[in-house]
A and B are shown apart, each in its own frame.
Chain A
Amino acid sequence: MKIAVCIKRVPDSETRVKIAADGKSLDEAGVKFILNPYDEFAVEEALRLKEKAGTGEVVVIALGPPAAQETIRTALAMGADRGVLLQIQGLHPDGLETAKALAAELRDAACDLILFGKMAIDDYNHQVGPMVAELLDLPCVTTVAHLEIAGGKGTAEREIEGGVEVVEFPLPAVLTTDKGLNEPRYPALKGIMAAKKKPLDVKPTAPGPGALEILSLTPPPERQAGKIVGEGSAAVSELVRLLREEAKVL
């Protein structure tokens, strides 16, 4: 079984990000970057499928700056077999241009499965996986929380509002993974050693300008200080009044 996992290098969720001087991008100085957490579920699932099948290959593909090699090494240390970096200079292109570059790489790769995290935690776009499926004319199941593959087809469970949707699909297919699908492994010492020797192919890539333009980024408004209404039962009526009249949630 051959599985491709598309991953992204993103700022650590614990990083306090700052907006760069241009007002449209992040100031990367001092920012720690990690493998997008939703992509970790995808890598882990690919490794489990390969381990279960007893044979196959897991290829991780990233589109990003030269430093994204580290992100790929993380996935290789978890157990993926080889990596491909579609190396860009400068900022990430929009979702469609990213999808086109990935699709071009994947078109002749003859994968049984192409996995994505359901979204990247930096731009929250949820776009690239389904777009790649569309460009490759493959079936696509998003936000997969449980997965079975058997006999050339798959069954995926998706957590939808108030229930679970079960989807059956033929291979090859594109899936995007959700939290809860699995518990990603930590890279083991031996895995980290082995990762240094695994092939990592760097391919300079020049995506098109794209149709979307970021005009500006602004930080969320500062949180207002909380209000202590009072103490004991005397405060209840005041709290109810405020919830009704000020917060308007009752």
Chain B
Amino acid sequence: MADSGNGKGETGKVIPAQYQPPLPLDKLLLPVGAPGAGDRMELDVVIVGAGPAGLACAIALAQLAQRSGGRTALNIGVLEKAGALGEHSLSGAVVNPRALRELFPELEDREFPFRAPVTKEAVHLLTAHRAPRIPIPPTMHNAGNYIASLCEIVRWLGEKAEALGVNLFTGFPAASLLMQGARVAGVRTAATGLDRDGQPLASHQAPNDIVAKVTVLAEGTRGMLAQAYLEWQQVGAENPQIFALGVKEIWETKQPLDSIVHTLGWPLPRDAFGGSFMYPLEPRLVALGLVVGLDYRDATLDVHALLQRMKLHPLFRRRLEGGEMVEWGAKTIPEGGYYSIPARRSGEGVAILGDSAGLVDVPSLKGIHYAIQSGMFAARAIFGALIAGDTSAARLAEYDRLVNESFIMKDLYRTRNMRLAFKDGFFVGGAKAALMSLTGGRFPGRRIGVEPDAKVERRFTPGLRPGSVVPPDGKLTFSKVDGVFKSGNATRDTIPAHLVVGKDVTPEAAAFYAHLCPAGVYEVVDGMLRANAPNCVDCKATDVVGPRWTPREGGSGPKYKRM
């Protein structure tokens, strides 16, 4: 398999939106009671996604129920598509501890599942051979924050939730929202044990319907059910949501590292927005990643390949050489910020949390504490609604109000235009962002508009190949197939295809997908698009600009351990 295509016949331009199929709403939205389900279960609250947002919501709900002195016993269930807790969770991560402190006021910071406090930090502006340090941008200071693995945070939160009596259902993806009028009445899980043609195998289990008074969508980045709900109810935002793709590796190194490191510049082309991070989980266990906004212009840009090339730079090479890459993963990040947050994140019987609601602040590279906090706010609103016996949109709007009045919206408002300024390239964006910092977000005094990533025109520029990389050596640099192996992905290769590809995909669009997908799902073979669906690590990158991702058999996808 070619990592980046061979470049032959890759000319011209692509507007990805022209080849993107619509959201499969007929599958994602079902009337409650629709045929096809096996078991039916009733809960007070069903939460989709056992990430920081969903688990914080479950924990906060269970705490509220407990503090009511047993007067309000709640049946809370959390559905998670990964086979075990944390296996689909990936972040940098440097975490602001404030939300966890509020969730567990009785615990000290040292009892949280963090690896180490940030003691030193550096930002470098890379060129092909040099790495001058630059002053740390005001938004990127991390004093008081902690280096952590999101997988570990999630496993820890899961234990806390279980101890409080929350039901965790790992290996059960929610595949559809159950509708009752304009109300969300629960979810239907994905079937398991189907063959390629959708025929049941011996291990087949029919989907389950989970009916609940409130359904919480905490699916993470680019949540399918959240997308379906917002489209169904036509909930808009001032700007469309835009995304970035991050590819990350974990290295056991020979050289110790005592500082968190961020880089800007090389190897990204100047019309792409992004940067790298290198965080020591332990002095000799280093998380390393590259994040690139999906509004890049060059159709052949390949984030995985760029990360491989980046490691050849002396700044990284001298730290990594002789070490071993032990884990690999990829994930998208909602980057639109303040103006891309849906006008409402609650409705009849439903609330949308964390990354699914776009609660990420790109200038500070933070989202985990917003996710946790949004879960706690949702829990408060839902608990009040359950006590009152009224889970209507009006009642659950309390969740929106809590978020709007909190530090979450204050933070996001202050940096509202910073990421958006970079649509004009690195230098113009950098200058504007600096002015925004100086003015506390008031410059330029208006919203910068953006188009959805799928509508950004991509060009094939002969000669310019930002995605190209020296052939992987298997020591410092790796192919996409190597990466997928290190993600722990052991998806049964006979499950039905879960990626919905558009009609009449041109060779150019196919080549664009092949470069974009970090897991080598898409290849161009004789000018035709071929999808190796079992490779998929659920990063959702092509869902943003091309083929749609849909939930598949529980336990499929990566098995991240320390991402």
Interface residues of A (CB under 8 A from B): 14, 16, 30, 32, 183, 185-186, 188-190, 192-193, 196
Contacts and interface: CB of A to CB of B under 8 A. Distances in A.
Given A186-B192, A186-B203, A192 B559 contact: no
Given A14-B559, A16-B326, A32-B84, A193 B167 contact: yes
B41 A189 contact: yes
The B contact surface, by secondary structure, is: strand
Given A14-B490, A32-B84, A186-B203, A192 B169 contact: yes
A32 B326 CA distance: 15
B388 interface: no
A196 B168 CA distance: 11
Interface in B331-385: none
B208 interface: yes
B441 interface: no
Contacts of A196: 167
29 contacts: A14-B488, A14-B490, A14-B559, A16-B326, A30-B561, A30-B562, A32-B559, A32-B561, A183-B202, A186-B171, A186-B193, A186-B205, A188-B39, A188-B205, A188-B208, A189-B39, A189-B41, A189-B172, A189-B189, A189-B208, A189-B210, A190-B39, A190-B41, A192-B167, A192-B169, A193-B41, A193-B77, A193-B167, A196-B167
Closest 3 CB pairs of A and B: A183-B202, A189-B208, A190-B39
B96 to A, nearest CB: 24
A16 B562 CA distance: 13
Nearest to A32: B84
Nearest to B208: A189
Given A189-B39, A196-B167, 7 more contacts: A14-B490, A14-B559, A30-B562, A186-B193, A186-B203, A193-B41, A193-B167
Contacts of B192: 186
B169 A189 contact: yes
Interface string B235-274: 0000000000000000000000000000000000000000
A193 B77 CA distance: 9
Nearest to A15: B561
Contacts of A188: 39, 205, 208
A18 to B, nearest CB: 10
Nearest to A34: B84
Contacts of B205: 186, 188
Nearest to B75: A193
B411 to A, nearest CB: 33
Interface range, B side? 20 to 34
Nearest to B559: A14
A190 B38 CA distance: 11
The A contact surface, by secondary structure, is: loop
Contacts of B189: 189
A64 B246 CA distance: 40
Contacts of A16: 326
Nearest to B474: A225
A70 B202 CA distance: 26
Nearest to A13: B490
A73 to B, nearest CB: 10
A192 B205 CA distance: 14
Nearest to B79: A189
Nearest to A31: B561
Contacts of B39: 188-190
Contacts of A183: 202-203
Nearest to A225: B474
Nearest to B193: A186
Interface in B177-198: 189, 192-193
Contacts of A193: 41, 77, 167
Nearest to A195: B167
Interface string B269-307: 000000000000000000000000000000000000000
A245 B303 CA distance: 47
B512 to A, nearest CB: 33
Q: Which of A32, A185, A189, A193 has the most CB of B within 10 A?
A: A189
Nearest to B553: A186
Interface in B208-229: 208, 210
Contacts of B326: 16
Contacts of A186: 171, 192-193, 203, 205
Contacts of B77: 193
A30 B488 CA distance: 14
A69 to B, nearest CB: 11
B172 to A, nearest CB: 6
Nearest to B172: A189
A183 B559 CA distance: 23
Contacts of A192: 167, 169
Nearest to B204: A186
A89 B326 CA distance: 30
Interface string B67-107: 00000000001000000100000000000000000000000
A14 B84 CA distance: 13
A190 B561 CA distance: 28
A185 to B, nearest CB: 8
Contacts of A185: 203
Nearest to B171: A186
Nearest to A16: B326
A16 B250 CA distance: 14
A30 B172 CA distance: 23
Interface string B154-182: 00000000000001010110000000000
